[in-house]
Structure 1
Amino acid sequence: MKLAGLKSIENAHDESVWAAAWVPATESRPALLLTGSLDETVKLWMPDELVLQQNNTGHCLGVVAVAAHPSGIIAASASLDSFVRVFDVDTNATIATLEAPPSEVWQMQFDPKGSILAVAGGSSASIKLWDTATWKLIDTLAIPRPESSKPTDRGGNKKFVLSVAWSPDGRRLACGSMDGTISIFDVNRAKFLHHLEGHYMPVRSLVYSPVDPRVLFSASDDGHVHMYDAEGKSLIGAMSGHASWVLSVDVSPDGAAIATGSSDKTVRLWDLNMRAAVQTMSNHADQVWGVAFRPPGGAGVRAGRLASVSDDKSISLYDYS
């Protein structure tokens, strides 16, 4: 497996680019790359050439997260202005505006069926679940304190929730916190199941394997990438190699590799059989906030693609094979 650089765009945004996600292909268009920046805009790019398709405004502070509905028809962006804006991908028409208290909107992800949007609730120490048919808040999953923590740990924002991921069957939701713990929920029963431990610094990114709904990958400021059996509560593997914080992780559609982005300014490709980094890409001049593999599907799409975004305002696109 390998990555080959296809295209990089300098100054893709006017400020740091903190978020990237792929909008799935529809019958009328290919998959698009969605990026969000501290310049308050969300941009949509045509793949391969990274041609700007749309420049969306509507937030009044930096955009910290973007997510695409599995249908490819709608997407969402979350900003430091405490709003989540849900919009039509092709027309940019606003479908819903979800309001949250300050510092309570971080990462978000639609469930595999597209019926729920899960939002990592930052300082509220919870995950908010929004019904995508009515855009009403349907549940708030509160994160309990780990049994191993001392009562004195109660203070501060240790349980600040940074990241969220759905299992491929939609039955489980994982979220990563500032204190390094990962919480697993049974969504149907709105029930907390258990914590996964092993990290000791913020868990900024999570992703489930597309081929095994038990396997969860995590990226942390402690410099490590972990692979968990999220049902059995066990750490299967720990991978290290980045020289600094690991800010983002995504898994390839075939489930054979993961990519990570780090504040050491590199993107790494990891072979999951070897549990080792097989390639390091140094396209960026500053920390890499997001990596995202393109989902399979769409007319004429054969090759895999990976995108990365950075504080250096650039976007890079790679061929994955």
Structure 2
Amino acid sequence: MQQQQQEDEQQQPWRMEEDDDAEIGYIDRAAENTLEQHKRVLEEFERKREARGIVVPVDDAQVRKQLRKRQVPVTLFGEDAYDRRERLRLILALELEKADKEEEEEEQRRTTGTSKVLGDEKHTETFYTEGTARLRAARKEICIYSLHRAKERIAQEKRRIQALRAFSEQEKDKIDKDDFELASAWQEERKEFIKSAQYMTVLSSQFGDERPITGIRFAPNQQLVATCSWSGNIRLWNVSDGNERTVLQGHTERVSSLAFSPRPVSSRCFLLASAAADNTARLWTIDCNDCSVQKTWVLRGHTARVTSAEFHPSGKYLATASFDHTWRLWDVETRKELVVQEGHSKPLYKVSFQVDGSLAISAGADCGARLWDLRTGRSVASFLGHGKPILTVDCSPDGYHFATGSEDHSIRIWDIRKKRCVYTIPAHSALVSHVEFHENGHFLLSSSFDKTCKLWSTQGWVLIKALIGHEDKVMCCNASRDGRYIASCCYDRTWKLWGVEKSLSQEEDNGLWCDGDRMETQDGFL
């Protein structure tokens, strides 16, 4: 019997074990069970929020009369006068919700009928302001760069989706060998990450500054962590032992955000950008070996606090958001301002680039996000839905989703193609301070003032792991490029490194730069 099973396995090289399938897909099955649960929680939350603004009679006799009028039970078991009054409030909220829907439907029918009879007589006029030659060259370069990136991403995504669909439909004989290897490697990587994430714990905790730490980022070589704080200082730390390497001083006010360039300045140096409340952003060229600052430049132009700095995927441009209601695009090589983009009515908190580099998304205190086409300068779409200011935004590596985190405690997932919210995660019990998609596409990372960081599966938006250990508000978090470690910083002036408990001494300090599929070391490229 055992010999026959071995022969069957040799005849079916594409067969996957049932146990592995179960492990790979258990998050997906759990997602189906949580979709309706999340939807019910959000609907109930909105209904109670609206009910709080409805005026109901104080007299219990009048409350009973209103309930009897609506042909519902006048009293329930164990219900007192206050509970009865709250029940009437919820009933009135449901009636208002139903009336609003009927009114919207009637208005839509009336508008549709009128437009068919009279035709569309609305005329709009678009005004354009001529830009500089430098801006025109930058837009052209962004267009060429994004087209190549989009072509490669879409081709690879199509191959992976076709292979995964063949897996699910039990048509493995139709899978190309290369496609099978691609899909198998992706699923295996996802399965391993989900397994390891369950055992993530605090590897180290460090006192980072004299004032609250506001931002944290892993360096491209994954050997260093950078933190910034309200003291105006930026500090670099070793990942392996948590020791401080150097302090970068230059800002005169609170530093709000950090970002590392995706491309190296040279074989030994990388570029760091910082944004601060002194109305400036700074660029720092840092040596990989001794962490010394080679050069620094100041970017001036904003008239109010600069809240974030983010590099374009090409590494040639930098976007900064500010409380002056604008975001600006800078040329990294010349340190010149290319464009000042208006469009928001209140202060901006964050700007993020789409993975191909063709689009930018800005969000702020006006509770909305705007999508901008960097190739033309146009505002493509507006995304409204949050009830409070949006504090953070990040784009998914799939190219058409992005996530926003807000003061309303929720994370919303938006689809650029549909131009609407496709899912709302009731993520935290306090405001969401940071959201971040990992470049492997397996998870979304979030932090909150409820003292936690959370990892969410991008398939179904199910909670994978909650990182609990901070004693105060978590200001920011960041995952390493390989997804093995997560760094988070807190209002209590500490930062923590999270990962699977094992010896970090196995990480040899010989990698200076990771870029795509190659690693630059002292001996050259691997």
Match of 1:126 among 368, 377, 399: 368
Deviation (angstroms), 1:2: 3.0
1:138 match: secondary structure: strand
CA contact (8 A) 1:22 1:295 kept: no
TM-aligned CA distance change 1:80 to 1:244, over 3 Å: same
1:27-106 equivalences in 2 (<5 Å): 30-47=269-286, 48-106=291-349
CA contact (8 A) 2:307 2:323 kept: yes
CA-to-aligned-CA distance 1:269-312 (integer Å, 9 cap, x gap): 111x46x9x9xxxxxxxxxxxxxxx9832997559xxxxxxxxx
TM-aligned CA distance change 1:12 to 1:118, over 3 Å: same
Question: Considering only CA atoms, is the larger Rg found in Structure 1 or Structure 2?
Answer: 2
**Distance in 2 separating the partners of 1:249 and 1:302:** 28
**Distance in 1 separating the partners of 2:396 and 2:513:** 15
Dislocated runs of 4+, deviation >4 Å: 26-30, 298-303
**Distance in 2 separating the partners of 1:295 and 1:194:** 36
Query: What is aligned with 1:175?
Result: 404
Deviation (angstroms), 1:245: 0.8
Q: Which has the higher helix share?
A: 2
**Distance in 2 separating the partners of 1:26 and 1:54:** 17
Amino acid at match of 2:313: P
Range with greater deviation from structure 2 (28-37 or 17-26): 28-37
2:349 match: secondary structure: coil
Range with greater deviation from structure 2 (199-208 or 24-33): 24-33
**Distance in 1 separating the partners of 2:358 and 2:477:** 24
1:31 match: secondary structure: strand
Query: What is aligned with 1:262?
Result: 490
CA-to-aligned-CA distance 1:21-65 (integer Å, 9 cap, x gap): 112225768431000110111111112223442111111111101
Deviation (angstroms), 1:10: 5.5
TM-aligned CA distance change 1:53 to 1:205, over 3 Å: same
**Distance in 2 separating the partners of 1:115 and 1:177:** 25
**Distance in 1 separating the partners of 2:241 and 2:254:** 24
Range with greater deviation from structure 2 (46-55 or 82-91): 46-55
RMSD, matched Cα: 2.6
TM-score where L is the length of structure 1: 0.77
CA-to-aligned-CA distance 1:203-226 (integer Å, 9 cap, x gap): 111111222x24111000110101
2:256 aligned with 1:13, yes or no? no
Q: Which has the higher strand share?
A: 1
Query: What is aligned with 1:315?
Result: none
Query: What is aligned with 2:263?
Result: 25
CA-to-aligned-CA distance 1:102-130 (integer Å, 9 cap, x gap): 4341111111111111112322x221111
Query: What is aligned with 1:160?
Result: 389
CA contact (8 A) 1:207 1:217 kept: yes
**Distance in 1 separating the partners of 2:344 and 2:374:** 20
2:434 aligned with 1:236, yes or no? no
**Distance in 1 separating the partners of 2:241 and 2:460:** 32
2:260 match: secondary structure: strand
2:443 aligned with 1:200, yes or no? no
Amino acid at match of 2:423: H
CA contact (8 A) 2:406 2:432 kept: yes
Q: Which has the higher contact order (CA 8 A, sep 6+)?
A: 1
Deviation (angstroms), 1:237: 1.2
Identity level (%) = 27
Amino acid at match of 1:14: T
Amino acid at match of 1:128: R
CA-to-aligned-CA distance 1:169-217 (integer Å, 9 cap, x gap): 2221010010110000122222311111130111111111222x24111
**Distance in 2 separating the partners of 1:210 and 1:227:** 14
Range with greater deviation from structure 2 (1-10 or 112-121): 1-10
2:243 match: secondary structure: strand
TM-aligned CA distance change 1:56 to 1:197, over 3 Å: same
Query: What is aligned with 1:218?
Result: 446
2:413 aligned with 1:184, yes or no? yes
Query: What is aligned with 2:379?
Result: 137
Query: What is aligned with 1:317?
Result: none
2:348 match: secondary structure: coil
CA contact (8 A) 2:265 2:285 kept: no
CA contact (8 A) 1:116 1:129 kept: yes
Deviation (angstroms), 1:142: 1.6
**Distance in 2 separating the partners of 1:170 and 1:6:** 37
TM-aligned CA distance change 1:256 to 1:91, over 3 Å: same
**Distance in 1 separating the partners of 2:513 and 2:486:** 14
CA contact (8 A) 1:250 1:259 kept: yes
Range with greater deviation from structure 2 (45-54 or 241-250): 45-54
Match of 1:248 among 476, 482, 491: 476
CA contact (8 A) 1:196 1:230 kept: no
**Distance in 2 separating the partners of 1:229 and 1:84:** 31
TM-score where L is the length of structure 2: 0.48
Unmatched 5+ stretches in structure 1: 145-157, 279-293, 304-321
Query: What is aligned with 2:353?
Result: 110
2:462 aligned with 1:227, yes or no? no
